[in-house]
Structure 1
Amino acid sequence: MSLPTTNLDDRKFQDLVDEAKRMIPQLCPEWTNHNLSDPGVALIELFAWMTEMSLYRLNQVPDNFYTHMLNLLGFEQFPASAARCDLTFWLNGSAKEVPIPAGTQVTTAGSIGQSYMFTTLEDNTVRSPDLMAALTSEGDENFVDVWEDLKLGLSEVACFPRTPVTPGDCFYLGFEGSLAGNAVQLTIEASAQGIGVIPDRPPLVWEVWQGEGWVEARLPDLPGRDMVADTTGGLNRDGTVLLLVPNVHEPLILGGTRAYWIRARLTATSDDQPGYRRSPQIRRVKAASIGGTVRAEHSEQITDDYLGVSEGRPGQVFSAARSPILPRNDAETLEVTHNDVTESWFEVADFVDSAPDDTHFCWDSSTGAVQFGPLIRYPDGSSRQHGAIPAENAQLRLTSYRTGGGAAGNVGAGTITSLRTSIPYVTSVENLRSATGGVDPETVANARERGPMSMRAGGRAVTVSDFERLTSEADSRVGRVRCLAPREAGDPIRLLVVPAIKEPPETLHLDHFALPDDMIASISGYLDERRILGSSVEVGTPYFQGVTVAALLTARPGRPGAVVRERAMRTLYDFINPLTGGAEGNGWPFDADLNSAQVFQILDAVEGVERVDEVLFFEYDLRNQQRMGFGKEMVKLGSDSLFLSTNHQVVVR
């Protein structure tokens, strides 16, 4: 049970008025009219009201006080997290190699509203591809070398060898070097032999080998962009195919040839996507790199930030020029220069284990404060220096750091388009997919709730609630988490993590909930230091059960049907949602089934709805984007699952 909040002064308005009236005979005996109509009494009541407001403020503990108290106990507010995305740099020219260095700055178009800066995190080089091999295969076997035919262009090559054309047949192109991160344009000469398909929706997919499997490489369709991913009509006419190779492209031996492979694989057909009746025929293929993709984050790089001069005393504190500070990498540290000798110091979370000669410092991500070790006096009268002290007159400098972050960086696809750093041969840049992962810094209100919970439970992960709390602390991008205890001895502890996503509920799809590798690493590393000996932890996501609601409503007289339908759709997407759903609005509960009575109730409360006539649920396959089974009035949810709204259908009459 928590301690009661101290009430420094419990006097209320009437107490203050009565106290003032009791003092009138002593201080002003000639004042005899104490009725409410008297102007003096009106002034007493006015000042009593003002005094009550002052007492109310006195009894409120300021946010700064809470913040400082939590800092004294070793708790810090979560800093902001930066949104990340892939930036594609488009080239204009035929250079053999075009380097795109780390630290390249790109901003969103700022003609209307505020612009946001993104900085590339790694180096990449766009290289001219060297095509060296071509194969066809029946599934994953029976490879046939067709490179000589394509290289000379004397005869046509059937991309998919079996007759009739069978899903799983592949056409391979092998390259001498890795094309990781490149935008590759294949120029294809073909004849219209692959009849039977819809040219804009052929049943084939382009993939690259990533070391552990084949992954899709395609150009997303963005509205307003002239560039088209495939102009060949499914390899049926002369044209180009534009592919975005992922940042990992590994070699593989196929048909006795070791190369970096890209393949076109025939997929299964459906009623609205007919297949090939004959295989496409290709005469010649050429490859060129017309762009490169680099990982970037919503941040600004600050270099050579001069902090000041050391006074040679313990516990010195200096401030960085900018804040908040994003998580540091190995190259971002503090340099101390004394007598022309420069030494790099090491950042630590605290000085508990720091010896007097350890060159350690603490760096507050929220405020940017850089602190050196204190001198602590112990009960026996001895004093110990925790961490070394920079020598007097030593120059202190931060090599570099990144500042920025926040939910504002979660910008949409095609919005990061303005180059601030000039690169030869680069004409334009864009983000083909939305930036994700940006989270605002923790509020004081949330820190006030989290601090006492952490104090009671300590820093060890023992119970299920401990694991859930520590996972939330490990990374600010965690939106929700559920811990599943092992069913049998030796089984891992399963953590089901839902990332915090700021996208509108109606636009959410399965890919939004994928956990970035660095997020999994940060959670795993944080828990590894706090789990009990012998336990193992498995970090993943819940199984997202797609669900579609079909509802029939009757609108009240005079209410526009389109407006009522839009309100009902918004209500459904908000209610059946992993992050904002449920009765409490903090995410659909684990283990909570979905039944028609709940949906009847929320739809009936929508403004403009007279009655709800019918509600049915359909399970939805989120991977294949199709409805499954028949309508039902209840959908059950597994212990490791959450509902995800998709493709709701609302009819208003």
Structure 2
Amino acid sequence: MPLFPPSLDTRRWPDLVAEARALLPLESPRWTDHNHSDPGIAVIEMLAWLVDTDVYRASRVTDRHRRKLLALLGLHPAAPSPARVVLAIRPGPGAPPELPARLGFVAHGADAPTGLETVETLPLTGASVTAAGTDDGTAGESGYTLEWTDHTPTLLGGAAVDALGPDPGVGAALLLGLDRALPPGTALALHLDASGSDVADVAHAVDSARDPGTLAHHGARTVWEARVDGAWQPLGDVEDRTRALTRSGAVRLRIGPGGLPVESLGAAGMRAWLRCRLDRGRHDAPPRLRRVVADAVEASLAVAAVGTYDVASTAVVTGGAALVEGAFVPLAITVDSARVVRTVRAGDPAAPSVRILRWIAPTAGAAGRLAAELVAAGVGDGAPEQTFTLPGGAVAPDAPTAGPDRVWLADPAGGVEPVRLVPDLDAAGRTDLHAVLDAGTGTLTFGDGRAGRVPEAGRTVLAAYRTTSGARGGALAPPAPVVVAPDVRTGVLLGGPPAPDAFTAALVDPATGGTDAEDTAATAARAERALWAHERLVDALAAADAHSLDDLPRAAVLRLTAPERAVTLAGIERCALDTPGTRIARVRAFAETDPRLPGLVASGCVTAVVVPALPRGRPEPTPGLLRAVRRHLAARRTAGTRLFVTGPRYVVVSADTTVALFPGVDPIAATAAVRAALDTFLHPITGGPRGTGWPFGRDVHRSEVLRVLDEVPGVDHVTALALRADGGPPGCGGLCVPPTALVVPGEHAVLAVRGEERRWV
């Protein structure tokens, strides 16, 4: 049932009574007295009246009441969020050495032009990544002629590859070749697009990428090195935001004293070489990359609002700060009804600190001009419930470095007061300078004098904010052209208008994110997903007739909302998969189980068995992975539950088999195919009867192994089969597997027989 049901007050209670009477012959044929005098009919009429009354009241719940009910759950309609894109910049003649942060661009998509701004500075080198490959850790011994995988055609073409190989160990490396040498001290910005980033990473804001807690991988540690004079030298000044190549992000590094020369690297050719090497630890799954771009910077589809005003010749200019173009100056202005500036006060600590874009001081005979990242939304008139519309439409959330204040009231006499933005004015007092901002429309609403103060007549409402295209920006994709914004901010940030061919910009990939402001219905739907998360997990298990989420496809499980509290076994499994910074292949929770006491009932204990994807032959979680999952679940477990997080216990299964081949089949190739089929069927991640991993505690049945062998191409029939567990003696039957264990393939003895010929391989 939805949290806020649609209006049903068109159905009156007589209709409900008539419907109930029509169902009586079907539901209760022995009920023959359908008159009002019958007590049962009287009860039906009373229930129908109560239902009609409740529906009538529910239909009269206003949008304001719905918002208050959602607020009791801790939920408020979300503001619009800007999409993110990555821009690849190619410098030309006259290009600056670096592009400043918050430089504006305009993308011409299918709809109207969309504004965007870079989120940080970008050093320009003009270099391009023209070669890429993987070293398993031993390629250097052969001069990079062996054990070297060239990924240049696939990686540079946008196809995903294993950055460190399918089963990376310490020493495995990603090698990147640049098309030119770089001198010492050069700053280089790379963007690495990771394929298959975990769903838990999506919830992390991109602006938090600089937080060291989100950048450190729980187990793997990588280092960046440069190839100089035939040897690899570590780079000391490196900022790697990819979390050991497991998430998309920027890598910013500075070339060391030896520079980055062009050298030959065996079969890889002549390039200026960098590499990212796995120094210690292990990943949960092979990191995959889809693209590597040099001279790339992330941009947000949100632009700062700019106010441009005439300054009256009689305007009063006060304050101790100089209005220097390009500088951040505390500034407060007041305007009249025609939006002409009447007072300018610079340097007041209470005023907002904004970037000055243009300042022409007024004179006795001529008006001045002011442009700044500050908008005068209007002038108060002293009336209650005043509303002001911020130009530009939807308002983006605060920037990470912005302060808590975004709106101010400026008095012509020189006073400046910050306005506190609140979800509603219900708790505001008559002297509280509060306002409600509708971020979707940019509407600012003040109080009526009893709930919230009224802006006094003559006071100017000032605002510093960013506008966003919301969901429309999320549709932006290559090959949409991108040009530098032809506005006053560009000239100020670059120190003058750029030359026509100074640099070009292009979208690397389609925009990600970008949402419009939530309405009450969308917020209620979000609340339902959170409130009914446990029920949705139970429904999914019931629909699949399964006992654990581990029995369902991982992609389907990740589409289910994770509950806030892990109170059931399914909830523990779903929350474990959401552990930030991890790539867990499988997880299974067992009740009344203590891994230290196998086979015994441990009341109040729950054990979560975590299985990563690596190592490929026998997946085992690292201590860092277990700590991360344990820490994540500990904050969500119910009080009194003793929670254990451990790796799987394995039963090593080996087969001794003799297979008869069809005529003309190569015994060596058939033997290899039989071994591969057995390894695939017994694999804990990709094996099992359904190919989704061997189920926990499932026995190995002889008949199923026979079917696997019989389906191998070239095999006519199986003449002998014996199964062994953990190196024990062979047996003619199946193998038992403990409830909390998985199977893993061991060494198989395969005898291939062709006609009368017998050959052991």
> Fold conserved (TM > 0.5)?
no
Report the TM range for the smaller structure's normalisation.
0.3 to 0.5
TM-score (norm 1): 0.41
TM-score (norm 2): 0.36
